[in-house]
Amino acid sequence: MTAARAVCYPYNATKIAQIRVATSWMAEETKHLQVTLETQVESVNLAEEMCLRLAEAAGFGEDECYRIGMSVREGVINAFHYGNKEKPEKKIHLAVDLTPEKMIIHVTDEGAGFILKDVPDPLAEENLLSTSGRGIFLMRAFMDEFDVVKAQTGGAEIVMSKRLPGADGAPSNGHGSGGHDAAPRQGA
C-alpha cells in the first residue's frame, strides 16, 4: 500500500490542490489519504468535499455519495464539537482507505473519547425534541459499517465504511444497507 499524506490547514484552494496531487500518486490496489484538519467549522465542509470527490471517483452513485458526505460531515462535527470541544489547539485527523471492496473512513479527535453504547438514542420519546445527539445515529444509518474505538491520541476514532458499487455484497441498485428506511444496527 502506498500512503500519500497531505496536511491541510487551514481550508484554502492551494491546500486542496496539494491533496489532489497526493491522491493521484496512490497505488492501484489500496489508496490512502490522510489529512490533518484544524478544529474549526470550515473543516467540516472541507472534509465533506474531499470525501465526496473520492467517493465520486470511486464510482459511487449520487445517493451513496450524499450518504458518505453526510457521514463524514457528522464525524467531523462530532470531533470538532464533542471531541475537541472546539479548542483550536487540537486537531482532527481524517483518513480514507479505498480498497477494491470498500471505502473506509476514519475520523479521529484529540478529546477524551467516548463509549458508543453510552450515547443516548435520539429516537427515544424523551429525546425526540433534543437539539443535538443525532450525528452518530445518522452515520450508523447511512454507512454499511460503523464503530468507535479508542484512538492512539486518547480520543475517539470513528471508523465507518461503505462497500463499493459492484463489490461482493454491495447492492446493485446503488443503495447500501444503511438506506433511508434503515435503522442503525445498534440502538444509539
Partner 1 sequence: MALHLTPRDSGAITVVDASGRITLGDGSANLRKTIRQLVEEAHTNILLNLADVDYIDSSGIGELVSAYTAVRSKGGELKLLHLTKKVHDLLQITKLFTVFEVFSDEPAAVRSFQVT
Tell me which residues touch partner 1 (CB under 8 A). Answer: 41, 44-45, 66, 70, 73-74, 77, 122-123, 128-132, 134-135, 137-138, 141, 180-183
Q: Does residue 96 contact residue 58 with C-beta atoms inside 8 Å?
A: no
Q: Quick one: 29 or 86, whose CB is closer to partner 1? A: 86
Distance CA 77, CA 48 (A): 11
Shortest Cβ 48–partner 1 spacing (Å): 9
Shortest separation between residue 47's beta carbon and partner 1, angstroms: 12
Helix (H, G, I), strand (E, B) or coil at 183: coil
CA dihedral 44, 50, 56, 59 (to 10 degrees): -110
Least gap, CB of 56 to partner 1 (angstroms): 16
CA distance 9 to 147: 27
Tell the smallest beta-carbon distance from residue 152 to partner 1 (Å): 27
Residue 178 near residue 74, CB atoms below 8 Å: no
Q: Which residue lies nearer to partner 1 by CB, 135 or 176?
A: 135
Q: CB-wise, 18 or 130, nearer to partner 1?
A: 130
Nearer to partner 1, 131 or 172 (CB): 131
Distance of alpha carbon 66 from alpha carbon 72, whole angstroms = 10
